[in-house]
Chains A and B, each alone.
Chain A
Amino acid sequence: MKLKLKNVFLAYFLVSIAGLLYALVQLGQPCDCLPPLRAAAEQLRQKDLRISQLQADLRRPPPAPAQPPEPEALPTIYVITPTYARLVQKAELVRLSQTLSLVPRLHWLLVEDAESPTPLVSGLLAASGLLFTHLAVLTPKAQRLREGEPGWVRPRGVEQRNKALDWLRGKGGAVGGEKDSPPPGTQGVVYFADDDNTYSRELFKEMRWTRGVSVWPVGLVGGLRFEGPRVQDGRVVGFHTAWEPNRPFPLDMAGFAVSLPLLLAKPNAQFDATAPRGHLESSLLSHLVDPKDLEPRAANCTQVLVWHTRTEKPKMKQEEQLQRQGQGSDPAIEVRALLMRPCRP
């Protein structure tokens, strides 16, 4: 009747290992214990938030004089969007067009990275209900991404943005939509909206009355929760940024807008494709403004109204499998423009 010590320790060992594995599985899981402590922490956080908001309200400059009653006097916002063919292109443009539809008096300049306009983009523009101009210019071969190169090695959309600037300056080139450039003396604002970012509709209210170059924070960029100007007494005194803070203008492409008269007064201002990494924005802004003359918006740059989001590349494993079996999906169903390869060459 005596238990074998070996068996007892074997059972003990198994139970211990099971317990240890259970503990390891639980490691890192959020703890549900101490609810009163968490409630107290939540209350403190909410109080801090409230205090921050009140401080922001105090710092906010007095409201600008009421906007002119005439709708005609509302400056036009020209939104420049470079785009290129890829699987998620149509989805991105659908989302962006829905946001732009909420903004009054907006003109969309969509520039394709292609030799000629594609049916997908033309159809989407026609269905969007927006006032638009459709442009197309191919990125020179030397600037294209090679296979396997990460996206940040070369600046993207440079030729396309410059093409839009040329159109605004009356150099024509539209392949669809509104073909005539804005006449001299037009009041307007130019904004560069990439097709995968996220824009709050309040952002467009903030930028509409730009006199020179206005700036605001951008969320989720540069390895930070947000990147943007530091403001003191209504003036930009520095920049909250972690990546190459010594750039002349450490701003994201989505973090500024330029007034149209200023842009037309500087016909040589454009983006420099040879600018080093991260200096593309500076290559344009250096021609237009001094850092001290930037106009802070979004409650003195304390509100995040635009986010640098990126859409994952969809996995097409099953599609490739079908291709190998010779049963590709029905090409008549449009997801995006048909290309020999799903990614950009």
Chain B
Amino acid sequence: MKSALCNRFFILLPWILIVIIMLDVDPRRPAPQLTSRPYFSPHTVGCGGSRVPLRRSSPGRDAAEKRNESRPQLQPEPRLPTIYAITPTYSRPVQKAELTRLANTFRQVAQLHWILVEDRATRSELVSSFLARAGLPNTHLHVPTPRRYKRPWLPRATEQRNAGLAWLRQRHQHQSAQPGVLFFADDDNTYSLELFQEMRTTRKVSVWPVGLVGGRRYERPLVKNGKVVGWYTGWREDRPFAIDMAGFAVSLQVILSNPKAVFKRRGSQPGMQESDFLKQITTVDELEPKANNCTKVLVWHTRTEKVNLANEPKYHMDTVNIEV
């Protein structure tokens, strides 16, 4: 009898301990919300239209004339469709450098609105002050990625892109939609200015080649008689839309008329984010090839190397705190 009681006690003890541990841990880790609420900045910063850089040159110089001819100044026109560029970004040593380069490109694009979405619970001082000085029309959002989705093999920036889409839909919910184009501009890629001219005329969904992606020099839609008939790609050719995030643009009208189209998180396989999204709003037949029937590379999937900070002291030793 006593032996049986001891036996049962020792059998149950580990389970009791496990339950106690779990109960103790749970209150300190509230379950993350399935859909985090993105924070919308109260107002848009910056003035309308991009700032054309001031250029001065000696009169009569041929090079100066050539310079003026090759780059006619684009004045913001009332009918010029707005390009909305959604850029997800996260804190890392090269973040400010990447955003600086991207801003230098965007400053030369007329009628561009920059939607910057941080992967953070709050807006960071670095990005806030950066946007204040950038001189671009912008919207600063932030939404943290749930911890369970922060894995190397899971797609990145999904919640941030969806937050940009939500803001765009909310902003145009009660107005007649102005003509506009939506483009997903990651902060480390390289964009030719010509690309923005090409995408501005998007009627529904337009596509073009992307350089240095998928293990090849370029990936591109295959075009026949002005229609997309296939994909030149080195990775998962069976995707319905074998295209990079930087390889397409969507017209604002299509975004507003498909309010439930978002980037999926559950059930999305690696590399299928673009296909899952485009499947909700268009078909391959309807795609509009750009960039000279998809034979010209105007965007490159470049990646910046991780920075070596081996000589940085563990604790801040300098007298001033310099932002990098």
The answer to whether B311 touches A335, judged by C-beta atoms less than 8 angstroms apart, is no
Q: Which of B26-53 contact A (CB under 8 A)?
A: 28-29, 32, 53
Q: Is the CB of B56 within 8 A of A333?
A: no
CB distance from B25 to the nearest CB of A (A): 10
**B residues less than 8 Å from A32 (CB atoms):** 29, 32, 147
Interface flag for A246 (CB, 8 Å): no
Quote the shortest CB–CB distance from A14 to chain B (angstroms).
12
Name which residue of chain A comes closest to B232, CB basis: A329
A302 touching B218 by the CB < 8 A rule? no
Q: Taking the complex as formed, is B20 at the interface, i.e. its CB lies under 8 A from any CB of chain A?
A: no
Provide the bound-state CA to CA distance between A37 and B312, in Å: 26
Number of A-B residue pairs at CB separation under 8 A: 197
The number of residues on chain B lying at the interface, defined by a beta carbon within 8 Å of a beta carbon of chain A, is: 72
* B23 at the binding interface (Cβ < 8 Å): no
Residues on B with C-beta less than 8 A from A332 are: 295
Q: Which of A35-59 touch B at CB < 8 Å?
A: 35, 42, 45-46, 48-49, 52, 55-56
Structural contact, A319 and B216, CB atoms closer than 8 A: yes
Known: A94-B190, A131-B57, A307-B94. A12 touches B215 (CB 8 A): no
Contacts of A103 in B (CB 8 A): 53
The answer on a CB contact under 8 Å between B70 and A46 is: no
Q: B307 in the interface, Cβ–Cβ < 8 Å?
A: yes
How many angstroms from the CA of A303 to the CA of B302 in the assembled complex? 27
Candidates A15, A52, A88, A127; contact of B302 at CB < 8 Å:
A88
Q: Is A286 an interface residue (CB 8 A)?
A: no
The answer to whether A317 and B218 touch (CB under 8 A), given A219-B97, A307-B97, is no
Asked if A127 contacts B218 (CB within 8 A), the reply is no
Partner of B125 from the list A49, A56, A224 (CB cut-off 8 Å) is: A49
30 A-B residue contacts at CB 8 Å? A29-B150, A33-B28, A48-B321, A88-B212, A88-B302, A98-B105, A98-B108, A104-B54, A126-B70, A129-B71, A198-B100, A217-B322, A219-B96, A224-B309, A224-B311, A240-B318, A303-B322, A307-B94, A307-B96, A309-B304, A309-B305, A314-B303, A316-B215, A318-B216, A319-B216, A319-B217, A329-B218, A330-B295, A332-B295, A335-B217
Residues of A within 8 A of B (CB): 3, 5, 8, 12, 15-16, 19, 29-30, 32-33, 35, 42, 45-46, 48-49, 52, 55-56, 71-72, 74, 87-88, 90-92, 94-95, 98-99, 101-105, 126-127, 129-132, 177-178, 198-201, 217, 219-220, 222-226, 240, 242-243, 302-304, 307, 309-312, 314-319, 321-322, 329-330, 332-335
